[in-house]
């Protein structure tokens, strides 16, 4: 049985549909709304007590379905398809603006959809739809998107307000995150750990090379790692937000992921934390480092 909310949503769509299709077949209409004919008849009976305030006969919608053909009348005021409110349209436009900043998407399609929604909502509501995406340096955003797509390292001068200090770091950007400010998730070579940077605190930026990493008295540069996860560990592919993944069936569905690693130390700890769901990995150095940690 439909919830009250689902039924209301269906009725708001049903009236304009029947107004545009007089004599619609009862069974076909029920199938169109993915309900059975008995449920549709219940909806039509409810329309008899629906209409304008006053509840006089001329105020209520009239519906008939004799002979399997559905007709409605006196429904002009509710026969227009439901429109988005200004707030709903604004939220959708803002969401599209934020999606436009993400890497690996067809930005032209996203921008076109946002523009069409903005125009349609403004015309239908007769209310300007104004949204203000989080401000950010467009040149910096474009630079970071390219670095994320190409998995490149960058050098930034980053202001740390708590210490009133301008620091210089080499990082490997992985993701842009909207919030009160725009943030950048990246591997920080100085901290040898992932860090989140506020874009408003980045004072300058330039391309850089991935520096060598000192781990367990050995030098190791960034490398690409291929790992296979069991079905129970498939969620890690989403946690790491990887674009390169491959699902396959080998008894049970598994996922093979491929990603860039900037620290053997980090990878060895990752292996120890998730050893029960990692079925294969092509990095013997990380495996040895993990085993050393167990000794």
Q: How is residue 252 written in tokens?
A: 């049970």
DSSP 60: B
Contact 222/215 with Cβ under 8 angstroms? no
Q: What's the fold here for domain 4-78?
A: Arc Repressor Mutant, subunit A (1.10.10)
CA-to-CA separations, 7 to 73, 94, 229, in angstroms, rounded: 20, 29, 42
Distance, in Å, from the CA atom of 295 to the CA atom of 292, rounded to the nearest integer, reads 5
Low-confidence ranges of the chain (pLDDT < 70): 1-3, 48-60, 75-87, 98, 100-106, 120-134, 162, 180, 212-222, 239-245, 247-253, 295
Indicate the SS3 state at residue 71.
strand
Cα separation, 18 vs 63, whole angstroms: 10
The pLDDT value given to residue 212: 60
Q: Are 59 and 51 in contact (CB under 8 A)?
A: yes
DSSP 8-class letter at 106: -
Domain range annotation of the chain: 4-78, 86-125, 154-211, 214-294
**Residue 130 corresponds to which tokens in the numbers above?**
């104004």
Pick from 295, 246, 289: nearest CA to 270: 289
Contacts of 169 (CB under 8 A, 6+ apart): 155, 156, 158, 188, 189, 190
Q: For residue 138, what is the enclosing H or E element?
A: helix 138-150
Contacts of 164 (CB under 8 A, 6+ apart): none
Q: Name every residue whose Cβ is closer than 8 Å to that of residue 155 and which is 6 or more positions away in sequence.
A: 168, 169, 170, 171, 205, 206, 207, 208
Which are the contacts of 279, defined by CB distance < 8 A and separation ≥ 6? 228, 229, 230, 254
pLDDT reported for residue 266:
79
């Amino acid at each position: 049985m439909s919830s009250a909310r689902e039924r209301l949503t269906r009725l708001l769509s049903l009236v304009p549909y029947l107004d545009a299709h007089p004599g619609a077949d009862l069974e076909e209409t029920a199938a169109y709304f993915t309900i059975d004919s008995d449920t549709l008849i219940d909806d039509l009976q409810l329309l008899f007590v629906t209409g304008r305030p006053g509840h006089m006969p001329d105020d209520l919608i009239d519906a008939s379905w004799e002979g399997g053909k559905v007709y409605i009348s006196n429904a002009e005021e509710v026969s227009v398809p439901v429109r988005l409110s200004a707030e709903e349209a604004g939220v959708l436009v803002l969401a599209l603006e934020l999606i436009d900043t993400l890497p690996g998407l067809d930005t032209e399609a996203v921008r076109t959809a946002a523009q069409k929604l903005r125009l349609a909502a403004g015309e239908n509501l007769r209310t300007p739809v104004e949204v203000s995406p989080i401000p950010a340096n467009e040149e910096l955003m474009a630079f970071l998107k390219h670095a994320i797509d190409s998995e490149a390292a960058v050098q930034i001068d980053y202001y740390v307000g708590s210490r009133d200090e301008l620091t210089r770091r080499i990082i490997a950007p992985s993701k842009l995150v909207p919030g009160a400010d725009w943030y950048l998730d990246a591997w920080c070579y100085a901290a040898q750990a992932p860090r989140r940077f506020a874009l408003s605190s980045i004072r300058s930026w330039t391309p850089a090379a991935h520096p060598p990493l000192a781990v367990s008295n050995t030098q190791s540069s960034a490398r690409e790692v291929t790992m296979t996860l069991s079905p129970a560990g498939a969620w890690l592919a989403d946690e790491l937000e990887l674009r390169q993944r491959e699902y396959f069936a080998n008894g049970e569905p598994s996922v093979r992921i491929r990603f860039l690693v900037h620290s053997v130390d980090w990878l060895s700890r990752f292996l120890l934390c998730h050893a029960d769901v990692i079925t294969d990995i092509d990095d013997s150095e990380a495996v040895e480092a993990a085993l050393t940690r167990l000794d």
